[in-house]
Amino acid sequence: MGISVGLGLRREITEALLHLENQKPAFLEVAPENWMEIGGYWGNLFHQISEKFELTAHGLSLSIGAKDELNIPFLKRLKSFLDEYSISLYSEHLAFSTMNNAHLYESLPVAFTDESVKHISTRVKQVQEILERKVILENVVYYTLIDQELSELDFYNAVASEADCEILLDFNNVFVNGKNFNYDPYEFISKIDTSKVSYLHVGGHQEQNDGLLLDAHNNPIKQEVLDLIRKTKHNFNADKLLFERDANLDDLNELLAEIKRIEKSLE
Amino acid sequence: MSSRNKHIDKSEALALFSQGDESVLENLKDLHNIDVYREMVQRNFHLHLSKSFGLSKAAIQGTKWESLVNDFIQHGQPKSKLFWQMPGEFLEFASAKIEHWQADLMKFEWSQVQLYFAPDYNRKGTKPFSYHPSHIAELHDEWSILNFEYPVYKIKWEDLEQHKGNYFLLQFRNQNTFEIENIELNIFLKELMLNLSTQQFNLAQTLTETLTKFNTSISPQINEQYQNFIHLLTQKNIIVGLL
């Protein structure tokens, strides 16, 4: 079975996607928080999109690593949205984005500790029960290490095992974290529990003046990251790889050309 | 280290620092790149609030706007799970800290955003609208009535002070274009609109209820206003039919 390549749905490209006939992305990934419970112009376009494309979901505000109580009413609303649009694949960031229930609207890193594994796993189980779906947790980019009893790799494998959830492996994030924290992305991929990896991501990054790589999603994917995909793709059973772009979205043709580059690396 | 800061762990400290709290720096002294998080968090808030309140930002200006947003990030405790709804919480937070006319302007802008994204109305009835006193009109719900102290929607900002008063604006989403439109209402039409929207009264009862509220009876002028308003609501598809 091959790996198909999808694109993140952003408002800037929604109309253009509706007009595409050939060379469509195989699927679109939506952030539920940007599309749920809306009507009017965007609600109407989203409905058309859902009729033309297969959808996957990548959440923004679950805050699975937070100490706050899970927001059960929100999870029920989320489930309604996923059910309404027949979205079976739901992923989120293995991070936290709230403190005292206040949102930061950004993914902050969790501690790689046994306590974190237990805490997050308990919450993931609860979320899976409510959503009636597996939660797929993404290896996020982090720029600082909070507390580290476990390696990042062992941490992800432990959460996936303990929570009985799945992993979203972002190739770019492995590469960026590897560079920033001096580890080998190939070794990381060879040791991640691939039986748990059910979804893949890739995007562009940029380098700051001080050498720190940022997960910017604003420019073409670096060749080294495509090489990482090309050389490790056989490790995975996942059948979907998502191309993420959050900025420089003016030209859909450029994004489609990026998808071609990814597809070439998957050949 | 303050007694509060002794009890917070590094991830909490990083969150607080990203919100703008520098008192937790000591908790973070062995962490690298913490500024990256603060920049990302702050940039998201500033960008999104600037988009939602383009006019208000221009009206409040420069450092005052910047410090309002920074204050909100640090102390506003936004709870909206949907990022696009966060500016509504900013409006609540900021209203008491700015000039009244600026708060009116923010309210005007935010209401447009809310209506623009509001869920679509599902019709209850099936009959098209026709006027008869015994008919009950069905209105969609993609509208709101805003009450302003200053008519920010029609008067230049520098002249607003001379126009302090009590203004009502019916703001609604056009059913065909999805754009937001406005109709200024007097206090009689505001009450009439609210009574119509309860969809409990037929058209005759709606008028009677409204007149009773103002302790008055029908006159040719009032009747004309009433008829014109019903016609306008029909023309604008706010009245969508009969129940």
- With 0-12 CB in 10 A as exposed, 13-18 as middle and 19+ as buried, what is B172? buried
Looking at the fold, whether B218 and B124 belong to one and the same domain comes out as: yes
Q: Which of B68, B98, B128 is at the close of a domain?
A: B98
Question: Under an 8 A CB cutoff, do B81 and A111 touch?
Answer: no
Q: What is the residue-level pLDDT of chain A in tens, covering all 267 positions?
A: 699 999 999 999 999 999 998 889 999 999 999 999 999 999 999 999 999 999 999 999 999 999 999 999 999 999 999 999 999 999 999 999 999 999 999 999 999 999 999 999 999 999 999 999 999 999 999 999 999 999 999 999 999 999 999 999 999 999 999 999 999 999 999 999 999 999 999 999 999 999 999 999 999 999 999 999 999 999 999 999 999 999 999 999 999 999 999 999 999
Extract the residue ranges of chain B whose pLDDT is less than 50.
none
Q: How far apart are CA A33 and CA A56, in angstroms?
A: 13
Same domain, B127 and B242: yes
In-domain check, residue B108: no
Q: What are phi and psi of A29, to 5 degrees?
A: -105, 130
For B70, residues 6+ apart whose C-beta sits below 8 A from its C-beta are B20, B42
Condensed to tens digits (0 to 9), the pLDDT of residues B117-173 reads 999 999 999 999 999 999 999 999 999 999 999 999 999 999 999 999 999 999 999
Token look-up 């913490």 returns B34
Q: Which domain holds residue B58?
A: 1-98
Distance from CA of B76 to the nearest CA of A (A): 8
Distance, CA of A64 to CA of A95 (rounded, Å): 6
As given in the structure block, the two tokens for residue A203 are 């995007």
Q: Which residue, chain included where needed, has tokens 């991929």?
A: A189
Strands A90-93 and A96-99, by their bridges, are unpaired
Residue B109 lies in a domain: no
Q: Which two tokens stand for residue B16?
A: 């607080």
Structure-token match 């762990």, residue found: B9
Tell me whether B112 touches chain A (CB under 8 Å). Answer: no
CB contact under 8 A, B83 and A34: yes
8 Å CB contact of B10 and A44: no
d(CA B65, CA B40): 19
CATH topology for A4-266 is: TIM Barrel (3.20.20)
For residue B197, the SS3 value is: helix
Does some domain include residue B1? yes
- CB contact under 8 Å between B16 and A99, yes or no, is yes
Chain A CB within 8 Å of residue B178 CB: yes
Tell me, yes or no, whether B73 and B127 share the same domain.
no
- Report the number of distinct structural domains present in chain B: 2
Enumerate the residues of chain A whose CB falls inside 8 A of the CB of residue B173. 40
- The answer to whether residues B172 and B232 touch, using CB atoms and an 8 Å cutoff, is no
Q: Are B154 and B73 in a shared domain?
A: no
Q: Which residues of B120-145 are buried (b: 16+ CB within 10 A; e: fewer)?
A: bbeeeeeeebeeeeebbbbbbebbeb
Residue B178's CATH number: 3.90.930
Spatial CA neighbour of A266 closest among A225, A220, A231: A231
Record: contact A144-B34, CB cut-off 8 A: yes
Taking the domains of chain A in order of start, what are their residue ranges?
A: 4-266
- CA–CA separation, A93 vs A247, rounded Å? 19
Same domain, B24 and B54: yes
Residue pair A143/B37 in contact by the 8 Å Cβ criterion: yes
Say yes or no: B87 and B200 in one domain.
no
With respect to residue B63, please indicate whether it lies within any of the assigned structural domains.
yes
Contact A177, A139 (CB under 8 A): yes
Do B180 and B69 fall into the same domain?
A: no
Interface check B81 vs A, CB under 8 A: yes
ipTM: 0.94
B222 and B163 belong to one structural domain: yes
